[in-house]
Amino acid sequence: MTGVPDTKRLRRIVVAGGGTAGWMAAAALARTLGHAIEVTLVESDAIGTVGVGESTIPPLATYNRLLGIKEAEFMAATQATFKLGILFDGWKDGSDRYFHSFGLTGKDHWSAGFQHFWLHGRAKGHAEPYDAYCLELVAALEGKFAHLPDNRLNYAYQLDATRYARFLRTMAEADGTRRIEGRIAQVELDGERGDIAALVLESGQRIEGDLFLDCTGFRALLIEQTLHAGYDDWTHWLPCDSAIAVQTESVGPPLPYTRAMAHDAGWQWRIPLQHRTGNGLVYCSRYLGRDAALDRLLGNLEGATRTEPNHLRFVTGARRKQWHRNCIAIGLSSGFLEPLEATSIHLIQRAVLRLIRMLPLAQVSECDITEFNDQQLTDMEQIRDFLILHYKATERRDSAFWRQCATMEIPDSLAHKIDLFRETGRVFRKNEELFAENSWVQVMMGQGIEPRAWHPIAEKLPDEELARLLGTLRDSVARTVAGLPRHADYVARYCGAAAEQAA
């Protein structure tokens, strides 16, 4: 049996850029493939990272487990808290609030989701809100958390992204990743194939590789500035193009959820960590100037500021080819979807794990490239549609920004999902879509989209049996939450960081 000659094997993987994307990639590759490859990461301490991806979603826990990371150790190192979902303030009409939680609401039937039974029950006079049937939601609003048997409480993390990158760097270097300090002055191409041959640093050092990962952030130094992969601009659907981030002192015990507070030109986030709170204002520069945006953010903070404001500009969209030739864009270089549903780190994770599954033994296959790009774009388009939903499905008409959002054309894929839910109460998940049925139901009803009908299976239950089912589900949630400790107390016992780490 013959194999690929050693001289033709793909061994040298070069990661351009550090930060969360670079070190997530390096750590996973080094730990998964070990000595089968050589991982080199090039970064410069003189170049800052965005580092504001502090709110995450549940798949990150799976990623950490795949890498053998001990949760309590990781949380202490990153000053993390638990996250059960996002509280949305003012998105429907300006004075409302609703919660998008992780996990399930109620109990589904194989033929229909729980919302159908709840809708039928409401028509029969059962007035309890949909929220009362969701364990994660009730626990979050009561500020409680604990690990439960059978992983019954679904959660993510609120963390310091800069500390997470540092944590992963220590792990990656212990697994054999070589870090090289320096600025990239030139990306050298192979004259015959057009592939990237090497990175040349300002010092003159030349770093050759077989496969290059572009983790250079918005600059997209390899994938765009060098290889010109192209970019699809989605600003006409997601009009926010600017953000300001600032850290503040904590003013109370950390809550197990993130807040997204709508304002007349965008929204503001608030993310409680163990040692501080992350804050930011996302806005559309067409309707709000930079100075006015800063004044608005600073005027709506809790606690004294710890850092200088960090101003960001971005163009929401996706790289047309996220794998082009022998270069793969990971993180912000691959595109940007605003942080409304905390998907930035998740998209890094998806790209890294997808790369590991499709990593070539020798020369890169065009079939692999096409499949990788198709899957990455599908991920981003599905998340894009979910984000657009928050802006489009609104009753707000109090500012030019919200009037634009309410009247804008939307992708056919989203329009179909909204129409289907409004007419039938149904949501269908396609192609391992990130956001499950319950997420769509919570956000659509939270934004004011009410189904006109429900599945006939809901009417199969006699009234007394329906009442018993709804009561049993509510009581189970209430009893479980009553037995949970306060989130802040549980965090302090489970993964409280040392005082010197918080300094």
Q: What is the DSSP string of 293-343?
A: HHHHHHTT-SS-B-S--EEEE---EEES-SEETTEEE-GGGGEE--GGG--
Q: Are 335 and 318 in contact (CB under 8 A)?
A: yes
Q: Is residue 225 part of a domain?
A: yes
Residue matched to tokens 């905390």: 342
Q: For residues 389 and 420, what is the distance between their CA atoms, to the nearest angstrom?
A: 14
Q: Are 209 and 196 in contact (CB under 8 A)?
A: yes
Nearest to 271 by CA among 156, 150, 138, 374: 156
Q: Are 465 and 411 in contact (CB under 8 A)?
A: no
In this structure, the strands spanning 38-43 and 12-16 are: parallel
Q: Is residue 114 part of a domain?
A: no
Blockwise average pLDDT, block size 10, the chain, 503 residues: 61 96 97 94 81 84 96 97 98 97 93 95 94 98 96 95 96 98 97 94 97 97 98 98 97 97 98 96 98 98 96 97 97 96 95 94 88 97 98 97 97 97 94 92 97 95 93 97 98 78 43
Residues 6+ apart with CB under 8 A from 140: 84, 85, 87, 99, 101, 255, 256, 257
Residue matched to tokens 């549980």: 490
pLDDT in the model for residue 31: 96
Q: For residues 17 and 181, what is the distance between their CA atoms, to the nearest angstrom?
A: 10
Q: Is 188 helix (H, G, I), strand (E, B) or coil?
A: strand
Q: What is the pTM of this model?
A: 0.95
Q: Are 42 and 184 in contact (CB under 8 A)?
A: yes
Q: Is residue 185 part of a domain?
A: yes
DSSP designation for 262? E
What is the domain extent for residue 25? Answer: 9-54+160-234+316-364
CA angle 26, 28, 34 (to 5 degrees): 90
Q: Is residue 409 part of a domain?
A: no
Q: Are 19 and 371 in contact (CB under 8 A)?
A: no
Q: Is residue 204 part of a domain?
A: yes
Q: How many CB atoms lie within 10 A of CB 216?
A: 28
Q: Are 161 and 16 in contact (CB under 8 A)?
A: no
Burial of 420 (0-12, 13-18, 19+ CB in 10 A): middle
pLDDT in the model for residue 116: 96
Q: Is residue 468 part of a domain?
A: no
Q: Is residue 205 part of a domain?
A: yes
Q: Are 197 and 181 in contact (CB under 8 A)?
A: no
In this structure, the strands spanning 97-101 and 85-89 are: antiparallel
Q: For residues 491 and 479, what is the distance between their CA atoms, to the nearest angstrom?
A: 21
Domains held by the chain: number: 1
Tell me, rounded to whole angstroms, the distance of Cα 379 from its chain centroid. Answer: 12
Joined together, the tokens standing for residue 290 give 């930079």
Cα-flanking dihedrals φ and ψ of residue 98, to 5°? -150, 165
Q: Are 134 and 98 in contact (CB under 8 A)?
A: no
Q: CATH number of the domain that 341 lies in?
A: 3.50.50.60
First to last CA, the chain: 59
Sign of CA dihedral 291, 292, 295, 301: negative
Q: Are 91 and 262 in contact (CB under 8 A)?
A: yes
pLDDT in the model for residue 364: 83
Tell me the C-alpha to C-alpha distance, in Å, between residue 219 and each of 59, 143, 184: 27, 40, 12
Q: Are 69 and 178 in contact (CB under 8 A)?
A: no
Q: Is 412 helix (H, G, I), strand (E, B) or coil?
A: helix
Q: Is residue 118 part of a domain?
A: no
